[in-house]
Amino acid sequence: MLATCGQQASLRQSAFHGTRVVSSRHALPRRVATAHAHIVMAKQTVLVTGAGGRTGRLVFDKLRARPDQFVARGLVRTEESKAALGGGADVFVGDITAIDDAPLRAALRGCDALVIVTSATPRMKAPPAEGQRPEFEFPPGGLPERVDWYGQKAQIDAAKALGVRRVVVIGSRGGTDPANMLNRIGGNTNILVWKRMAEQYLVNSGLNYTIIRAGGLLDKEGGKRQLVIGADDEDLGVRSVPRADVAEMAVQALLCADAAGRSMDLVSREEGDGAPTTDFAPLFARARRGM
Ligand code: NAP
> pLDDT tens, position by position, for the chain (291 residues)?
334 464 544 444 333 333 333 333 333 344 444 333 333 458 999 999 999 999 999 999 999 999 999 999 999 999 999 999 999 999 999 999 999 999 999 999 999 999 999 999 999 999 999 999 999 999 999 999 999 999 999 999 999 999 999 999 999 999 999 999 999 999 999 999 999 999 999 999 999 999 999 999 999 999 999 999 999 999 999 999 999 999 999 999 999 999 999 999 999 999 999 999 999 999 999 999 999
pLDDT tens, 216-255?
999 999 999 999 999 999 999 999 999 999 999 999 999 9
The response to whether residue 241 sits with its C-beta less than 6 Å from ligand 1 reads no
The response to whether residue 56 sits with its C-beta less than 6 Å from ligand 1 reads yes
Instruction: List the residue whose alpha carbon is closest to atom 20 of ligand 1.
Output: 95
Report the alpha-carbon distance of residue 71 to residue 169 in Å, rounded.
18
Quote the DSSP letter at residue 24: B
Rounded to the nearest angstrom, the distance between the alpha carbon of 126 and the centre of ligand 1 is 20
Which parts of 203-256 are beta strand (E)?
208-214, 216-218, 227-230, 240-242
CA–CA–CA angle 85, 89, 95 (5° rounding)? 70
**Predicted local distance difference test score (pLDDT) of residue 96:** 98
The response to whether residue 144 sits with its C-beta less than 6 Å from ligand 1 reads no
The response to whether residue 72 sits with its C-beta less than 6 Å from ligand 1 reads no
E strand or H helix at 138: none
pLDDT tens, 54-92?
999 999 999 999 999 999 999 999 999 999 999 999 999
The response to whether residue 121 sits with its C-beta less than 6 Å from ligand 1 reads yes
Q: Where in the sequence numbering do the catalytic residues fall? A: 172
- The residue to mutate among 91, 119, 182, 263, having the most atoms of ligand 1 within 8 angstroms of its beta carbon, is 119
**Predicted local distance difference test score (pLDDT) of residue 42:** 86
Rounded to the nearest angstrom, the distance between the alpha carbon of 269 and the centre of ligand 1 is 23
Pairing of strands 70-76, 91-93: parallel
Rounded to the nearest angstrom, the distance between the alpha carbon of 229 and the centre of ligand 1 is 21
- For 227, phi then psi, to 5°, come to -85, 150
Dihedral sign of CA atoms 253, 256, 257, 263 in order: negative
Rounded to the nearest angstrom, the distance between the alpha carbon of 212 and the centre of ligand 1 is 14
> Which of 27, 46, 33 is CA-nearest to residue 210?
46
Please enumerate in sequence order all residues whose Cβ is within 8 A of that of 163, keeping only pairs 6 or more positions apart, or say none: none
The response to whether residue 155 sits with its C-beta less than 6 Å from ligand 1 reads no
- For residues 210, 213, 219, 222, the Cα torsion angle rounded to the nearest 10 degrees is -50
Q: What is the pTM of this model?
A: 0.90
CB 223 within 8 A of CB 279: no
Residue 103 buriedness (CB in 10 A; 0-12 / 13-18 / 19+): middle
> Which of 107, 205, 105, 193 is CA-nearest to residue 156?
205
E strand or H helix at 114: strand 113-116
- The residue to mutate among 62, 78, 121, having the most atoms of ligand 1 within 8 angstroms of its beta carbon, is 121
CB 141 within 8 A of CB 89: no
Closest ligand 1 atom number to CA of residue 151: 18
Rounded to the nearest angstrom, the distance between the alpha carbon of 170 and the centre of ligand 1 is 9
